[in-house]
Amino acid sequence: MSVGLIILAVIVGLGGFLISIYNGLIKLKNRVKEAWSDIDVQLKRRYDLIPNLVETVKGYAKHESETLENVIKARNEAMAAQKGGDAKEQAQAENMLSSTLKSIFALAEAYPDLKANQNFLELQRELTDTEDKIQAARRFYNGNVRDFNTKIEVFPNNILAGMMNFKKFEFFEVGDEKERDAVKVSF
């Protein structure tokens, strides 16, 4: 009878241990999803600001249509990548969009009236603020991805994670060196 109790205690203890690992994995997976939704919110805000910024610039820089078309094209590609749900593809599209946005701010240097336009200045400030929030959301997301990926790779979690088909998440990374430069805002 005491051997049966010992076996039962071991089974219950092992079951509790497995449940604890599983619940921890689910908790971290949900944190990653929450962090991704934070990125989505900030990207949506950026997408909404861009057409207003482009329209403001159009009034001052009529012959700069190629630059403005590139910004809109990059915005549309980023929005399409967002719907695709692939973090790596979306990161590449977002990095391209960030690059094209820099060209709009460079245009402002060539048009002093545009630099002084209150509408442009407010949109520029909001876009810069949004870019900062996107960076913070990326850091938060990547921290949660790091925690989740570490949890599914360490022993003995990796055994249960493999059996339950938990997969690593991709980091939301900045691309090449050109894309790593911050958006320059100057007056």
What does the alpha-carbon distance between residue 146 and residue 140 come to, in Å, rounded to a whole number?
Answer: 10
Sequence-distant (≥ 6) Cβ neighbours of residue 186 within 8 angstroms:
105, 109
Asked if the model's pLDDT at residue 179 lies above 60, the reply is no
- CB count within 10 Å of CB 117 equals 18
Asked if the model's pLDDT at residue 113 lies above 90, the reply is no
Residue 147 pLDDT level (bands cut at 50, 70, 90): very high
What does the alpha-carbon distance between residue 151 and residue 30 come to, in Å, rounded to a whole number?
Answer: 13
The average pLDDT across 61-90 equals 78
What does the alpha-carbon distance between residue 160 and residue 170 come to, in Å, rounded to a whole number?
Answer: 20
pLDDT of the residue at 57:
74
pLDDT of the residue at 184:
46
What does the alpha-carbon distance between residue 34 and residue 53 come to, in Å, rounded to a whole number?
Answer: 29
Q: What is the pLDDT of residues 11-69, one digit of tens each?
A: 999 999 989 999 999 999 999 989 988 888 888 888 888 887 777 777 666 656 777 77
DSSP letter (8 states) at residue 170: P
